[in-house]
Amino acid sequence: MRTRVILATAVALAAGAASAGCASADREPARSAAESFYAAVTAGQGGRACALLAPEAAASLRSGGQGCEQAVLELDLPGGAPGGAEVWGDEALVRLARDTVFLHRFPQGWLVRAAGCRPRGALPYSCEVEG
Amino acid sequence: MRRFVRDNALSLFFLGLFALALAGQSVAGTAAYNDRQLAEGGAPVSWAGYVTSSDFAVDVAENWQSEYLQFLLFILATVWWVQRGSPESKKPGKEGPESDADQQVGPHARPDGPAWARATDLRQTLYGNSLGLVMGLVFLLSWLAQSVAGLAAWNSERLSRLQDPLSWWGYVTSADFWNRTLQNWQSEFLAVLSMVVLSVYLRQRGSPESKPVGAPHRATDVEG
């Protein structure tokens, strides 16, 4: 009896861990948040774009008297059509045609943690904005 | 009820310790996880959120797999190898699976022994190796759980550091997976080594894991 309990627990642990890691239902909200951010920047709506940034990322754009609303519109964010997305825990990555976006899940939903990111091999991505 | 508790006190004691330690790990783990989340600009999670996360699962599974591996190897290695003077070992000369008469199987089975010990077909082989088989199966499942939960936890960490996530194969050949695995294995192997060797020379009065206090150091297969 005890053996069966241990086996069932180990299987449940593996299944739970797998579902925690590969939650495909989470990909769409993350992709949609990335698209909304780029759409706001393209439309010149700096305030709306900043509201979709994670607090640390938004704060990193405030410098020299310039607010996030202006700074976000001056970033080099080529974007493009959304491709694949991956969600692991509370972190997500959305690939766009010309750059990559990283997001974090907050209580209010997915917010952009880094955008305008380009790969650097084994090193972390180099991003236009990150926080 | 009282008799049940007395007859099963050892199992109940360890079941209670296991539950308390796991509960403590979940509370301390939630606090440590939220500490990291806040430092990295993320949002803290609830206790329920943490205990269903891959971070908690990998921490639990990596310890489980190493414990079951330890006992699996202990069970199998003591079939074939002895340590003179250790109460954990058989007497020198008895290495191997031993005779049917020694093991009370087939025609040598006792009338009150397990039914599958009386069998002369595959059931006897299966039952005769059932402890190792189950410990080995739990070890493999726990190790698999560690790899899956570890992949999820590691990829979450990689994404928070703005790095690409890995595939399962990429993870099980990564430094993180083997660092987690080997740091647990080395401590388990050291603990078994200590138990086998120290029990030759040291005693714990009343414990069946020790020889009787007055037993000579060279006496093997004697439990106190």
Single out the residue of A79, A87, A80 nearest to residue A27, CA to CA: A87
- Quick one: pLDDT at residue A65? 80
Assess contact for A83 and A95: CB atoms under 8 A: yes
Verify whether the Cβ–Cβ distance B159 to A14 is below 8 Å: no
Measure B54 CA to nearest chain A CA, in Å.
5
Over residues A73-102, the mean pLDDT reads: 94
Is B134 within 8 Å of A22 when comparing Cβ atoms?
no
The residue ranking higher by pLDDT, B221 or A104, is: A104
Give residue A8's pLDDT. 57
Torsion angles phi and psi, residue A61, rounded to 5: -90, -10
Residue of B nearest to A118 (CA): B162
Predicted confidence at residue A10, as pLDDT, reads 54
Cα first-last separation, chain A? 51
Positions of chain B with pLDDT lower than 70, given as ranges: 223-224
Q: Is B172 on the interface with A (CB under 8 A)?
A: no
Q: pLDDT by residue (tens digit) across B135-160?
A: 999 999 999 999 999 999 999 999 99
Rounded to two decimals, what is the model's pTM? 0.86
Show the tokens assigned to B133. 């088989």
Using a 10 angstrom Cβ sphere, with 0-12 exposed, 13-18 middle and 19 or more buried, the burial of residue B74 is middle
- Sequence letter at residue B131: L
How far off is chain A from B11, nearest CA to CA, in Å? Answer: 11
Confidence band, pLDDT 50/70/90 cuts, at residue A12: low
CA Rg value for chain A: 18
SS3 A84: strand
pLDDT at A66 over 50: yes
pLDDT at residue A25, as a whole number: 76
Give the closest-approach CA distance of B202 to chain A in angstroms: 33
Q: Choose among A16, A107, A123: nearest Cβ to B52.
A: A16
Interatomic CA distance for residues B214 and B219, integer angstroms: 10
How many Å apart are CA A76 and CA A57, to the nearest integer? 15
Give the chain A residue whose CA is nearest to the CA of B154.
A88
Q: How confident is the model at residue A1 (pLDDT cuts 50, 70, 90)?
A: very low
Which amino acid type is present at position B67? Answer: E
Q: Please state the φ and ψ torsions of residue B167, each to the nearest 5 degrees.
A: -80, 170
Residue A4: per-residue pLDDT: 54
Task: Please report the domains of chain A, with CATH numbers, ordered by start residue.
Answer: 23-130 (3.10.450)
A15 pLDDT band, cuts 50/70/90, is low
Residue in chain A nearest B39 by alpha carbon: A56
- Predicted pLDDT at B156: 94
CA distance B56 to chain A (A): 9
Q: Which of A21, A57, A104 sits opposite B54 (nearest CB)?
A: A21
